[in-house]
Structure formats: C-alpha cells, structure tokens
Amino acid sequence: MGVQRSDKKRRRAIIDYSIAIHGGAGVLPARLMTPTREAEVRAALDRALRAGESILAADGSALDAVTEAVSALEDEPLFNAGRGAVFTRDGRHEMDAAVMDGRDRRAGCVAGVMGPRNPVRLARCIMERTDHVLMVGEGALRVGRDAGIEEVPPEHFFTQERWDALQETLRMEAAGTLDDDPARRHGTVGAVARDRSGALAAATSTGGMTAKRPGRVGDSPLIGAGTFADNRTCAISATGDGEAFIRMSVAHEIDARMRLAGETLAQAADHVVHVGLPDLNGSGGLVSVDFEGRIVAPFNCEGMYRAWSGDSLDREIAIY
C-alpha cells in the first residue's frame, strides 16, 4: 500500500515552503480508471495545487494557501466536497469542513451545512469571527451570511454521477449486495502547508458518505481526528473511514507520537495508517507536513488522489 515521502527528495535541510493536497482516498479502482478520467483528475489536482502554491511562493500564509487550495478542490465536481458532494440517503447534501492554524491552534469547523459554495470558507469564518470552534446548521450559516460568504442554490451541488451513485447504493442495500467500495466511504478533500515563516496550517472538506444517514458527521470537521495543525509538530488532513479515524483520533495520535515519543512524521504517520487503523478495520490515508516542511502521504487502500510541491521539492501528482 502507498507510502510516499518528500523527505527523500529534499535538496536542502529545511524547506522554505511546501504544500500537499488530497482529493480523497475513495479513488476509482485502477481497472476502471480510463485515460480520460485520469487526465481530468490530474488536471483538477494541478489547478488546486497551483492555487495554494502560488500564495506560498508570494510569501503568503499557510492558512491562506490551504484555504484557497481546498476551495479550488470544492469547485471541482470530480471530488466529494462542495460541488461534487455526495448525497445523503434522503437525497440531500450535508457538508462538513475544518481549518486549523498551527501558530496558535485556532480552528474553525462546520458540519451538516448546505448553501455555502465553499464550506471551507465558512469554517474559516467561524474561526475568525466567533469564539467557537465547531458550529452546525442555521447558526453556522448565519455567521457566513453576516460575513458575505457566497451561497448557491442546491442545483449547484447536483452532479449526475453522485445521484446515480446514491441510487445504486440504495438498490444494493435493498438487495443485500452492498459491497465495501471505498469510493462510497472515503470521499474528502484537504490540504496542508508550511509557509516561509514556518507556520503550518491544515484544511479539510467533505460531502460525507454516499447514502449516509441525515445528521451523520465524520472525522473531517473534528479537530484531532481528520484535521490538525501545530507549528511544533505537523499539519494533517485525513481521508478515509470517518468512524475509525474518529475512534483513533488519527491526527492527534500522530502529533502525540511526535511530541511525546520523539518519532518523525514519517514514523508516526506510517504507524497510525498501517498499524493503528487496520486494527480498527479502518482504511484511508492522509497528507501531512512537518515543522521543517517535509511531506508524508501514507494510505492503506488502493489509492489516494494527491499532489504536493515546494520551493525545494519535486512537484508530484499521483493517484495509486
């Protein structure tokens, strides 16, 4: 299973800035991936990566970089967030998102919302305009409206591919033939970054699971589970079986292994993804960056849409 690190390709001891993004671990199986679809996915990842790296290259903040990268991913219908969000079992959208600033552990999270074009911008708005961390429903939407966050009609989030996936999932449930396809369970987007000042940040956004029960919330908007950033250790954005990631507190576990056990990011992330999660029957992966700008992107399933770059890193876009 995939374990990829940028530290093997470093050309300097400390990287000035770096960014990694993911479009979820719910990839199409390699046998079903057509050349056209692969080209579309790679182009979408490239656009999102450029949105973040251009900010870092101009001495912008890690927080701005991850916000813009995830916003770009939310606008891509290929990924399960924003415009490409999956449907709940009653045919609606309920989206979750989070941002975290590694400088002071400020965080903003939103769960179960529909309306904001970019849920990650609403999450950041909650961080910057309220004293809260996690908000849901109408209260969260009101914060966004007061801040002028763009809202769009439900039609914006409709894609035929996601609607067909809901109908297929419901048919399989009724027939007792529902399989364990990760494309139904792993859809998330996210980004982590280190800027030239040494600050880290993380952002994650998701539409959840196809045919999920209304009101279900996964790990993406939960600080310490699917999203985390602390300048002393690392920034993390995860994707996978949300319930397992919550039960293991995946992002916090990696941070704790670094702070308390002295492990490197690669050691901590690899252990959690390849040992800890399988013990809970959890599959998925994550992108992460440490305080020196090194990137680690392990996953324990067939693939994970991912990309990274930095001022002294080789640019890479990968799926499997």
Known catalytic residues are 188
Q: Kindly list the distances between the CA atom of residue 40 and the CA atoms of 30, 37, 301, in Å, as whole numbers in the listed order.
A: 15, 5, 21
Three-state SS at 192: strand
The values of phi and psi at residue 27, to 5°, are -85, 155
State the alpha helices, DSSP H only, in the chain.
35-57, 62-74, 119-129, 137-146, 160-175, 182-185, 242-248, 250-261, 265-271, 277-279
- Spatial neighbors of 243 by CB under 8 A, at least 6 apart, are 218, 219, 282
**Spatial contact of 317 and 48, defined as CB atoms under 8 Å apart:** no
How many whole angstroms separate alpha carbon 195 and alpha carbon 53? 10
The label of the residue with tokens 């990650």 reads 120
How many whole angstroms separate alpha carbon 111 and alpha carbon 119? 9
Using CA atoms in the order 108, 114, 115, 116, what is the torsion angle rounded to 10 degrees? 30
CA 271, 184, 202, 248 dihedral sign is negative
Q: Are strands 134-136 and 106-113 parallel, antiparallel or unpaired?
A: parallel
Q: Read off the tokens for 315.
A: 């640019």
| Packing angle of the helix pair 137-146, 119-129 (nearest 10 deg) | 80
Residue type, 266: A
The label of the residue with tokens 């990696």 reads 254
